[in-house]
Structure 1
Amino acid sequence: MTSATIPPHGQDVLDEGPFYHGTRADLRVGDLLTAGFSSNYRPEVVMNHIYFTALPNGAGLAAALAAGTGPERVYLVEPTGSFENDPNVTDKKFPGNPTRSYRSQAPLRIVGEVTEWVRQTPEQIQHWRALLANNKGEIIN
């Protein structure tokens, strides 16, 4: 695993891993996750980064909110390059990094799959979708 870098906004990355990525994609160990796909939260935005978290439950929530019809999946991932705190949920919008979320322009390598995390109820997912639909903030891409 690569070592964390100091992000441009000056806050040190808090975690050295393990890291997780939530999706509905059916992937295998060794596959690479890359940037360049539409945002799950604003489909008209093509993302310049790939996002991940140090919290399996956070990745599970991302999987539940992800586009597609496949089953929710949480993958154990390893950054292949430098990464930074996700400015969408850190100091640019919230103090610190409470969601322990990160992003990278370099790919993430799948190193395993996690099957145990706290799954959201349908009501919770509906609540999250409503919050995201009403969010007027811009994605920092």
Structure 2
Amino acid sequence: MSHVATVFAQSFFHGTRADLRPGDLIAVGYPSNFTEAEPLSWVYFTATLDAAIWGAELAAGDGRERIYVVEPTGPIVDDPNLTDKKFPGNPTRSFRSRAPLRVLAEVVGWHGHAPDAVKNMKEGVARAMVEGRGLID
């Protein structure tokens, strides 16, 4: 297998409203995109564009929804907030790391979910927060 094929064998994405540039680091110690909880001790990312789109669409704030191709700089583990708690296995291919993610590029030209689907998902997230089920580990 060529080196190029190895480099591009797996892409990871991060959906947010943050305005970042290639080379920037997404690091622990910042509040979640979704809650007003304490700063997170993990950074979250996915290997599916669909999950990253949800991340961008559900992110708090007024900034433009953005999706970045990211590179983990350290060890990664399955995201326990989704893996096995909500979905058996890891079908959303969601991960987390204590090490920063390096922004490689911004994904452009992606298409979001239907407005009704986003509205329903946001209402579900809000309900989970009120009921205490929305905690991010």
Fold shared by both chains (TM-score > 0.5): yes
Which residue of 2 is the match for residue 8 of structure 1?
Answer: none
Q: CA offsets per residue over residues 36-75 of structure 1, 9 Å max, x none?
A: 1222332123211000000112111111111221111110
- Aligned equivalents of 2:107 and 2:66: distance in 1? 8
Matching of residue 22 in structure 1 with residue 18 in structure 2: no
- Aligned equivalents of 1:66 and 1:100: distance in 2? 19
CA-CA distance at 1:23 after TM superposition: 0.8
User: Which consecutive residues of structure 1, in runs of 5 or more, have no partner in the other structure?
Assistant: 1-15
Structural RMSD (CA)? 1.6
Q: Find the residue that maps to 1:40 and give its secondary structure.
A: coil
Q: Find the residue that maps to 1:111 and give its secondary structure.
A: strand
Q: Provide TM-score, normalisation by structure 2.
A: 0.84
Question: In 1, are the aligned partners of 2:16 and 2:33 still within 8 Å (CA)?
Answer: no
Identical aligned pairs, as a percentage?
48
* Larger helix proportion of the pair: 2
Question: In 2, are the aligned partners of 1:57 and 1:118 still within 8 Å (CA)?
Answer: no
User: Which consecutive residues of structure 2, in runs of 5 or more, have no partner in the other structure?
Assistant: 1-8
- Equivalent position to 1:72, from 58, 65, 80: 65
User: Measured at CA, do residues 36 and 127 of structure 1 come closer, stay the same or move farther in structure 2, by a change above 3 Å?
Assistant: same
- Aligned equivalents of 1:28 and 1:39: distance in 2? 19
Question: In 1, are the aligned partners of 2:82 and 2:90 still within 8 Å (CA)?
Answer: yes
Which stretch of structure 1 is more off in the superposition, 104-113 or 118-127? Answer: 118-127
Q: Provide TM-score, normalisation by structure 1.
A: 0.82
Q: Find the residue that maps to 2:44 and give its secondary structure.
A: strand
- Aligned equivalents of 2:94 and 2:32: distance in 1? 15
Q: Find the residue that maps to 2:57 and give its secondary structure.
A: helix
Question: In 2, are the aligned partners of 1:22 and 1:59 still within 8 Å (CA)?
Answer: yes
Which residue of 2 is the match for residue 123 of structure 1?
Answer: 116
